[in-house]
Amino acid sequence: MIELTKGFDEYVNQIVGRQNSNNLPDSNFKDGLFELDKNKYQLYNQCIVFENEIFFPHAFLRRNGRGNFLGIIQELNYQIKRGNVVQIRLDPFEKRQIEKLDEINAILEHDSWFGPKFSNGILDKNDNFSVTLHCTNKDDSAVKRYPVIYTIFRPSWLDKNKNIIQYYIEELLLTKSDKKSFLDNPIPYCSENYVVQKFVHFTYDRNEKIFEHIDASVRIFEFEEYQKIFAQIESGKIYDKHIPGVERYKLFKIQGRLELKDMANILKLYLYGNQHISEYFGSE
């Protein structure tokens, strides 16, 4: 997350007073908004590049005014590519040199999600797949109900010749050492020695338009190993779905002909309390 150099009142005074700033890229704006010309500006996950300098959307577009941007830049970029006119108010105080681009661009959106949302196109059309990571801030009140911080959604081909895709879903909870004082109950699935991770695998047959298999499993980590993969995600890197030395132990398996509503209900029941499931699948 970018550490802002100015406080809330300074942003209020600047925007109310319609004050200009030397940090802004040019004077071609109206009502404080710049038109994002695709031939001039490059949009990344957390910043905007103009003539080898890094600018940011206004701080009031950040989560809670100080966090990361919740996918807004990606959406603006999408609208530009569709041919729509996009204007934005830039942060009048924050600017970075181009050398910081890799560091800034590596920031995952730890306030919401990183990667594409679920769509029927993933099931029926996509040839290439991307990992999606849903996140919840550790101080969010939802963590008190169920301390899930990250959920990873991994679609991929199981058998391209047979037109079958698969999904892996993995949740990562707070560990015992991360326990916040506001949590009333002990961290579930965790001791001083081990952490149990809930894990779901299911397959979808594009030819038949049905889910043919789902299994619910757990992976058992030694505590230190789990801490490593948790820290890896916090640093902005998603670990590989196959972890050497860590096995999956199936708790139940269903094979046959399942519909999307069946899958949604099974996931809701097995991953009970995980708000990322409805966030990811909820729009379809």
Tens digit of pLDDT at every position of the chain (284 positions)? 567 878 878 888 888 777 766 566 665 566 678 888 777 778 777 788 887 788 888 888 876 677 777 667 777 877 787 788 888 888 888 888 777 776 666 554 444 555 677 878 888 988 888 898 888 877 777 788 888 999 999 999 999 999 999 999 999 998 765 655 445 567 788 888 888 999 999 999 999 999 999 999 999 988 999 999 998 888 778 888 888 888 888 988 998 999 988 898 899 889 988 988 888 887 54
Find the domain containing 233 and state its range: 113-281
- Looking at the fold, whether 132 and 71 belong to one and the same domain comes out as no
Final residue of a structural domain among 52, 72, 105:
105
Final residue of a structural domain among 105, 127, 144:
105
| Single pTM value for the model | 0.62
Question: Angle CA(59)–CA(277)–CA(138) in degrees, nearest 5?
Answer: 45
Pairing of strands 87-88, 33-35: antiparallel
- Looking at the fold, whether 224 and 244 belong to one and the same domain comes out as yes
246 exposure class (CB count in 10 Å sphere: 0-12, 13-18, 19+)? middle
Residue 115 per-residue DSSP state: S
What is the number of structural domains in the chain? 2
- Looking at the fold, whether 118 and 95 belong to one and the same domain comes out as no
3-state SS class at 47: coil
- Measured from the Cβ of residue 192, the count of other Cβ atoms closer than 10 Å reads 7
The answer for 82, left when phi > 0, alpha when psi is -120 to 50, beta otherwise, is alpha
